[in-house]
Amino acid sequence: MAKLTLLDLAKRSGSDGIQGVVESMTQMNGLLTMIPMRQTTQAMFKYKQRMSLPSLDFRMLNAGVTPEKSVIRDVIVECKDILGVSEVDKKLAERYPQGVNAFRAMEDAGFVAAGSNKFNSKLYYGNSATTAAEIDGIGTILGTLGGTCISATGNTASVQTSMYFWSFSDATGANGRLPGVEVPYFGELPMVSDMGLQMVYETGSSTKKYPAYTSIFEFSPAFAVYDVRSVGRLCNIQAAALAAPPTVALINQVITAMAPYQVDLITCNKATYNSIQTLKGTTFTNSEPYASSDIFKRAKYFDNIPIIIDENITSTEAVVS
């Protein structure tokens, strides 16, 4: 059965409002067009991660084997709440030439974009140990559970960045069928709720109020990595990567280490994407057939794996040991 994306689920919800919000989010956020999602019935999501298989052996007649068992680890993730509240001064909205609804829609679009960016940022950098309200991201998961993390050898503190590698499909390996990465969510899909005209407090005041059109943006996602090999990271890339861009060998090292998973997506920030263009003509490809003008085109794929620019990946990461 094919895995569903956020937009697939929104279309199945039957709500035009939810579908409109999710369509806006996916237009702003390429990652949401690819990462699979599913609904959960509880805010806390537990799954089992197989660490090792039992030992079996051939036996002779009248001889036995030692009883064994699998090693299974319970992994618990929580659906964490993303919330934004929009308060638009009634008079300000009424003075907008295109009308109140147009002004509110413009403001709501900003909250949708900000919520989408917040979600993406925490997929990389979330750490519930330091900020309990947020999800754990790839950096935290790879740091605590181990997994595929290859260093590009940059060593200058706080001017590093990373390329991230995702496998959303299942793998079949020595440990059996292994699911990859997905985002379970709790309750409603991302939505903007119109709370109507309300009296709100002036900023910084606990007594002064004014009438404002109020909306709230809500989303409650978790991040489930079923096997640490289903995500990968090429870290310690110097932010000024044009001088020494990530090499094809390093990128292939991450992809190879993630086997038996097949990489479905690579994400990096704009500066890194710009730096890896120097590798084009080796393993990087464009989406169009080869032409003499390809030298002027940006590479969109690495060995047919799509590359998405995500500016939520910073150029100020600490050195990863």
Kind of pairing between the strands at 171-173 and 231-238? unpaired
Domain boundaries, the chain: 6-49+75-309
Please report how the helices 100-125 and 16-28 are oriented relative to each other, as an axis angle in degrees rounded to 10.
60
CA atoms within 13 A on the CB side of 180: 25
Alpha carbon 141 to chain centroid, angstroms? 13
pLDDT by residue (tens digit) across 17-75? 888 888 888 888 888 888 999 888 888 888 887 777 788 889 999 999 999 888 888 88
How far apart (Å, rounded) are the C-alpha atoms in residues 318 and 321? 9
pLDDT attached to residue 287: 60
Spatial contact of 80 and 220, defined as CB atoms under 8 Å apart = yes
Helical (H) or strand (E) element with 40: strand 37-40
Query: How does pLDDT run along the chain (321 residues), one tens digit per residue?
Result: 468 888 888 888 878 888 888 888 888 888 888 899 988 888 888 888 777 778 888 999 999 999 988 888 888 888 999 999 999 999 999 999 999 999 998 988 888 888 889 999 999 999 999 999 999 999 888 887 777 899 998 888 888 899 999 999 888 877 778 888 999 988 778 888 999 999 999 999 999 999 999 999 999 999 999 888 899 999 999 876 556 788 999 999 999 999 999 999 999 999 899 888 878 766 677 665 555 555 667 788 888 899 999 999 999 998 887
Length of the chain measured in residues: 321
